[in-house]
Chains A and B, each alone.
Chain A
Amino acid sequence: MSTESAPSEASAPEADSERTKEISLDEFEPYGTLAVTGSYFVLLLVLYALLYFVEFAAHAPHIIE
């Protein structure tokens, strides 16, 4: 991606002014992302199993062959 070139005319976007610190690649530990995606993982497994075995498999008739 073209790294932005001309800060002089590109102005100071609002997002920058609210930034309180710079976090570099080596410092950044995405614990929050792990928590969010981990929760999503559990939710997917539980919902999928519920839908498959309770909503679908328990409601006959089915195609058996």
Chain B
Amino acid sequence: MTFVNHYPKAARIVKANFIVAFVALAIGGFFGLIQALHRTDVFRGFVSSVEYYDVLTGHGVLLALVFTTFFITGLYQWGVTRTMEREPENSTFSWAWFLMMLVGTTMTATAILGGLVPGSGMSAAVLYTFYPPLQAHPLFYIGAALLVVGSWLAGADWFWTYRKWRTDNPDARIPLQTYMVIFTWLMWYLCSLGVALEVVVLLIPWSLGIVAKIDPLLPRTLFWYFGHAVVYFWLLPAYFVWYSILPKLSGGRLFSDPLARIVFIFFLLLSTPIGYHHQYADPGISLVYKMWALIMTLVILLPSLMTAFTVISSMEHGARQRGGSGYFAWMGALPWGRPAFVGCALAGIMFAAGGFSGMVNASLNIDMLVHNTAWIPGHFHLTVGTATALTFMAITYWLLPQLTGKELKFKGLALAQPYTWFIGMTLMSNALHRQGLAGVPRRVSEPEYAGINYEVPFGTMAEMNWQVAIGGIILFVALIFFLVVVGGTFWAGTPATNVDDTIPPPLSGPEHSPEILDNLKLWMGVAVVLVLIAYTLPLAEMVMDGLFSPGAFPSPV
């Protein structure tokens, strides 16, 4: 008896979300392979250098928005159901938000893929950031809006469950997994409001031709109001796994439940009012707000550094219970033969490296060295591309038997997959970082320029290009491994007899923490105030001279 037996309705919803996520991962991952080979001039036969931007848009949207969102809604549905110990209140409502997200995704994907089909009359090569005046087909924006609104309803579904649970348990502390879901989604409501306003109020009317011109700075600023918090929307579900499941996979228990709660409060408060750090190089944003972003962004290191300690110590607890000892030797006692553990642990190691390049990005003036260079994709392929994506893949190995009642298929392949991903990403990401230091731009199909000699700090340009290309191929192989394991388990898995689905209680539980940590209204209130401080004046200035002015004409791509 496991999750699928106790909560069959929820299990079906989780599986549906995961399937959409993995289809997006497969297509988006293949696009990534095309880019790695094209950019480096190893093979330019898949697409032209113009179509490259359609593929790049597909890669960004399908992975950063679709794969993540659907996996997260699936994972969080699982977490809410198991800790609230109740099925969704109304299955029709749950399927409604899922379908809304799916319809939105299909519309957006159609607009993007249309750019690769000659004569389709559709295209959306606006990249994942869709900065106007570059203009996509209206379907692109309408679909994106549906995806976001669908995710809002998913959150409403979980709040509904939580309210019912609260009625039955008036004095209980919120179970940790539901606590993390709630705080992630409070942050998500707050930040995705920016992109929803951008798309619904500005971009949809403009893409339909209802207004002729657009002020590029306002939507760009609204995008980054959302665009940095969204990285925590990707990261917090990985933290959810690292805090609540990884200690158990390591053979130990979570060191501190109260600190996990404090960390999630920090992210709710600080994720959104720091979006300006993506606009350090922009005109039209006052230095005061760039300085504010510098300080707040570096302060948000704190919850991640605290997470490092709590998660590593929980793993150490497991290692010592398994007989490990010493200052560093205990790591050898961890279960390096289990795919779910290995994936989460390697994702964590890569996140430590990605954390460093993120600290550089956050640091105002040194960002001028790397802004919009290959350093940036080098950075976020360690964070969202590994800390998040590899954790999601790894935990899928642990969740699938609970969701399907079947044994995981191809366990050897599942074990090889995180190691393979780690090797591929090490090659690709170190080379992208170093190319960025030399000034090689990101988001470009042919980064070799006739008049430009990049001065490479260490290594050679050819060597780095080969590392990107070979790394991309290895990552794609790891992706195939993952899909084979998941597909094999879904369609050819044998019934499981002993499903491992237990999670031991934390060493230090919620009873050791003040109840104020669970005060949702208080923390949401503080978060809103911080956002108002950060954004009221600049947005007011941009809006006062007219919502669409100074306006530029659209440039369809």
Distance in Å: Cβ of B459 to nearest Cβ of chain A: 14
Given A1-B177, A32-B319, A40-B352, answer yes or no on A15-B251 (Cβ-Cβ < 8 Å): yes
A19 adjacent to B369 (CB under 8 Å): no
- Please report the C-alpha to C-alpha distance between residue A64 and residue B176 in the assembled complex, in whole angstroms: 49
Q: Which residues of B contact A1 (CB under 8 A)?
A: 83, 175-177, 244, 257, 503, 505-506
In-complex Cβ contact of B313 among A4, A24, A30 (8 A): A30
- Please report the C-alpha to C-alpha distance between residue A1 and residue B501 in the assembled complex, in whole angstroms: 13
B211 within 8 A of A: no
A42 within 8 A of B: no
CB-CB nearest in chain B for A25: B507
CB-CB nearest in chain A for B439: A59
B321 within 8 A of A: yes
B409 within 8 A of A: no
- Please report the C-alpha to C-alpha distance between residue A57 and residue B313 in the assembled complex, in whole angstroms: 37
Produce 1/0 per residue, A11-33, CB < 8 A to B. Answer: 11111101111111100101111
Q: Which residues of A contact B312 (CB under 8 A)?
A: 30, 32-33, 36-37
Q: Which residues of B contact A59 (CB under 8 A)?
A: 369
- Please report the C-alpha to C-alpha distance between residue A30 and residue B305 in the assembled complex, in whole angstroms: 16
Chain A interface residue bracket vs B? 35 or more
Distance in Å: Cβ of A26 to nearest Cβ of chain B: 9
A56 adjacent to B369 (CB under 8 Å): yes
Q: Which residues of A contact B356 (CB under 8 A)?
A: 43-44, 47-48
CB-CB nearest in chain A for B309: A37
In-complex Cβ contact of A9 among B1, B82, B503 (8 A): B1
Q: Which residues of B contact A52 (CB under 8 A)?
A: 363, 366
Binding-face segment, B50-58, B213-221, B328-336: B328-336
B381 within 8 A of A: no
B308 adjacent to A37 (CB under 8 Å): yes
Q: Which residues of A contact B501 (CB under 8 A)?
A: 10
Given A1-B176, A1-B506, A2-B175, answer yes or no on A31-B327 (Cβ-Cβ < 8 Å): yes
Given A2-B83, A10-B501, A52-B366, answer yes or no on A23-B321 (Cβ-Cβ < 8 Å): yes
- 6 smallest A-B Cβ distances: which pairs? A11-B498, A13-B500, A30-B313, A4-B502, A33-B313, A35-B327
| A residues adjacent to B (C-beta < 8 A) | 1-4, 6-7, 9-16, 18-25, 28, 30-33, 35-37, 40, 43-44, 47-48, 51-52, 55-56, 59, 62-63
| B residues adjacent to A (C-beta < 8 A) | 1, 82-83, 85, 175-177, 244, 248-251, 255, 257, 305, 308-309, 312-313, 316-324, 326-328, 330-331, 335, 338, 352, 356, 359-360, 363, 365-366, 368-369, 437, 457, 497-508
16 A-B contact pairs sorted by A residue (CB < 8 Å)? A2-B175, A4-B502, A7-B502, A10-B501, A10-B502, A12-B498, A19-B251, A19-B322, A20-B323, A28-B320, A33-B313, A37-B309, A56-B366, A56-B369, A59-B369, A62-B368
